[in-house]
Structure 1
Amino acid sequence: MDKLIIEGGVPLKGEVRVSGAKNAALKMMAASVLTGERLHLENVPEILDIEVLRDTLRDLGVTVEREADGSMDLTAGDVEWLFVPLEAAAKMRASFMLLGPLLARFGRVIISNPGGDRIGRRPVNLHVDAMRALGAEID
């Protein structure tokens, strides 16, 4: 279908609040460890995966502040711990998104295979292959 034509007799009025995208928010949250500066995100959805990654980032030393308006501030200035806890990795696949940013910033990271939902087959070999192509040594 090239186009959608809608005919109606009354113009539409009002407001629609579009929820933030989980997958975009998770990637931006993981990218926060690339810098020690504050990262401000808006329209972050309130869902379990976001909460789990928020807690994981806090465990790593990232300051995470969630506001009532749906925004989130992340500051990774004091990140020192390069080990993503097994419990966090087991809870969600998004924990593996921390691999690249932590490796880029610190040159070393320890992370377990990700867990999370069991919907379909989603191997992590593409991430591992990409890290190797960039010169990472993976045990």
Structure 2
Amino acid sequence: MKLLNKSILHLMTYLLLIVSLWSVIFYFNMLDEIKGSVDEELENYKRQIVFKAEKDLTILQQKTFDEGFFSVNKISEEKALSFKDTYEDTEIYAQDADDEAPELEPVRVLTTVFEQNGNFYELKIFNNMVEEDDLVKELLWDAAGLYVLLIFSIW
């Protein structure tokens, strides 16, 4: 085997390792950025809902997610004072325009507490997330394309 062929083979191997490592790091950074953006949106929804609840008490009657993207439930003062905001990744059944039946969709849920007229309420708000399996597939294809492009460029 010629030295040039050995060099190219080593270069291809190192490039594959570098592109693979870069893809993993990029995936986690992108997922973290997506979650941060969704969390900011959930915080914005929280402020809007609490503000509207001051003017429209019917918002406090929304006990389930059936009527929208949030639910409000009355809780005790003790529970409210010891509560910390939580963000959770979960799935709910939802139906898109192109779905025949509801299917599980990934969502991020903010659970928080607020006070209204001396009463305490637990507020749960959800927002859609990117499907991680779709993100992995796209990133895998993009990384493979980048690797092939690099190899052809070097060759």
Structure 1 length-normalised TM: 0.25
- Who wins on radius of gyration, i.e. which is larger? 2
Structure showing the higher helix proportion among its residues: 2
